Amino acid sequence: MKAFLLAAGFGTRLKPITDTVPKCLVPVKGKPMLGWWLDLFLTHGVTEVLVNTHYLYEPVREFIKEYNSKNTGLTVYEAYEPTLLGSGGTICNNKDFVKDEDDFLICYADNLTDTDLSAFVDFHRQHRSPLTMALFHTNLPKQCGIAALDKNGLICEFVEKPENPKSNLANAGMYVVSSEIFDYLDSCEIPLDFGKDVLPKLVNKMYGWYNDAYLIDVGTMENYEKANKEWQYDNYKNSLED
């Protein structure tokens, strides 16, 4: 299994920390966010990860180099973007990375989670579709990408930050996609955003998978402080071993 980890953002809401530290290397409980993601990928059988970089890319490059030297069984590649391509643009621009894959993961490095990626992938493979989106219940549906499901679990509506949300099932920033996803990225206009430009095309074609694992967007100082209080390594470890 291969995965894209989208990690090139500026992290403006985490200033002043991100004045000198790229967002994906901001530490939670003493370990960079990127490190937690690589632990999760390794536990669930991912063998290759492509991380896109842009802002403060040098320390991310060094982190990747050091990680690969440990020979964990997971190889990490960097895709440096002189100009940000957008989440969809990154996937489109690195199509060769997954040219031999039937399906692969796309995840956002902003999130801290102990999601059961194996179960997520299994669900996708049972329901064969261009994309399966991980979903979670949110108390702030107007601030998220919100999905409505039909009786079969197909996403019959998806709206970014809706004024009148039809549900509180929010996009968790994790997808399992099949190779046919590139049929919806054929124009590859840059920047290309997954949420705004790609997902609307997949309404009634993609499935939703409810995720009840720990998940927090560590993109604000409030959530960053919350994550550092809540995140428990032992709980994380046990959840993967159970």
Residue 233 has pLDDT above 70, yes or no: no
Residue of 193, 145, 195, 194 whose CA lies nearest to 165: 145
Residue 80 has a pLDDT of 97
Task: Report how far residue 14's alpha carbon sits from residue 18's, in angstroms, rounded to the nearest whole number.
Answer: 6
Strands 48-53 and 2-6: parallel
pTM for this predicted structure: 0.93
Distance between CA atoms of residues 179 and 117, nearest Å: 18
pLDDT tens string 139-156: 888 888 899 999 989 999
Confidence of residue 121 (pLDDT cuts 50, 70, 90): very high
- 109: number of Cβ within 10 Å: 25
- pLDDT tops 70 at residue 129: yes
Give me the CATH code for the 2-241 domain, please: 3.90.550.10
First to last CA, the chain: 21
- Residue 190 pLDDT class (50, 70, 90 cuts): confident
